[in-house]
Amino acid sequence: MATWSAPGKVFLFGEHAVLYEKPGIALAIRPRVYVTVRKTSHPHHAKSPYIDQCFREFGVKGSVYINSQLPSSSGLGSSAAVTVATLAAINDEFDMGRSKEQIAELAWKIEKKVQKGRASATDTTVSTYGGMFLIKEGTRKRLAPQNYHLVIGNSQISHSTSRMVEKVAEMKSKHPAIINPVLDSIEAIVMDAMKHLDEPAYLGKLMDMNHCLLEMLGVGHPQLSRLVLAARSTGAFGAKITGAGGGGCMVALAPKNIRARIAGAIEVFDGRAIITCIDTEGLRKE
Ligand code: PMV
């Protein structure tokens, strides 16, 4: 029996734009997903195309038990965390001898297959290695982890990442003269953020701008706007949608001493709050 865990992720900047050759900044967060794999003659596991695909890639059969502290389909990268941890647990249980690098690559390949080609390497990279990354197409640059205090607000509105990705593609083909500059502006935000990673107050302003641009891409939702405004008006440095949008989660960057107050405000507006920080550990054997 082998148990491995992997963290969730948030996009600080650049979701959606990363699918158009733009850079993005994402980081690993607690909570994480725990996956146990066991060789058995009667394999069974939860119905999941990601898990099916993990076994198919390795050409083995086994049982899987998942303990996830990450809400699923909320934009916190739970499918990538499950995929990465399942691959690592199979690799361990069946002595397949794959490196972390190979697991990250395989996990991205599985995400692309299950999500029909439209998945950046962000979630699988961040979940495998932990910490913070600048992601651009297939490349990654590890960034020095910062002591950010984050408050996530889950709108509890279900959304579909692929539907949101399609929506942005439609917007872009209908209004290229408007949407292309929006994507360029998101890129400019990422490049500016790279020079100010140790200045949360500055980054907060950039997050507010990135949020507006995501709304222009058509992935806003009234409930996400409420949570973002609740966080800002309670003293967050900045707040934005994180992930695909249209529901799912927002993230606020906050001064340490008011995290709880921001979480309270998010809950008042019917969100589920998670107070968290960067998880510098990626895949971990339990
Ligand atoms: O729902 P999430 O967190 O997996 O967000 C998807 C982010 C996108 O940029 C829209 C897609 C991707 O694969 O990066």
Q: What are phi and psi of 219, to 5 degrees?
A: -110, 20
pTM for the model stands at 0.94
Q: Is 184 a catalytic residue?
A: no
Whether ligand 1 lies within 6 angstroms of the CB of 23 is answered as: no
Q: How many whole angstroms separate alpha carbon 26 and alpha carbon 133?
A: 6
Whether ligand 1 lies within 6 angstroms of the CB of 122 is answered as: yes
Ligand 1, atom nearest to 11 Cα: 3
- Going by the DSSP 8-state scheme, the letter that residue 20 receives in this structure is G
Span from the CA of 150 to the centroid of ligand 1 (angstroms): 19
Whether ligand 1 lies within 6 angstroms of the CB of 246 is answered as: no
Catalytic position from the list 52, 92, 95, 123: 123
Q: How many whole angstroms separate alpha carbon 227 and alpha carbon 218?
A: 17
Whether ligand 1 lies within 6 angstroms of the CB of 161 is answered as: yes
Span from the CA of 196 to the centroid of ligand 1 (angstroms): 24
Q: What are phi and psi of 17, to 5 degrees?
A: -60, -30
Whether ligand 1 lies within 6 angstroms of the CB of 17 is answered as: no
Confidence check on the interface: ipTM exceeds 0.85, yes or no: yes
* Closest residue to atom 13 of ligand 1, CA basis: 119
Q: How far is CA 47 from the centre of its chain?
A: 22
Ligand 1, atom nearest to 165 Cα: 10
Q: pLDDT (tens digit, 0 to 9) for every residue of the chain, 286 residues total?
A: 999 999 999 999 999 999 999 999 999 999 999 999 999 888 777 788 999 999 999 999 999 999 998 988 788 999 999 999 999 999 999 999 999 999 999 999 999 999 876 788 999 999 999 999 999 987 899 999 899 999 999 999 998 888 999 999 999 999 999 999 999 999 999 999 999 999 999 999 999 999 999 999 999 999 999 999 999 999 999 999 999 999 999 999 999 999 999 999 999 999 999 999 999 999 999 9
Following DSSP, what letter does each residue of 30-49 receive, concatenated? EEEEEEEEE--SS------H
For residues 161 and 115, the answer to whether their CB atoms sit within 8 Å is yes
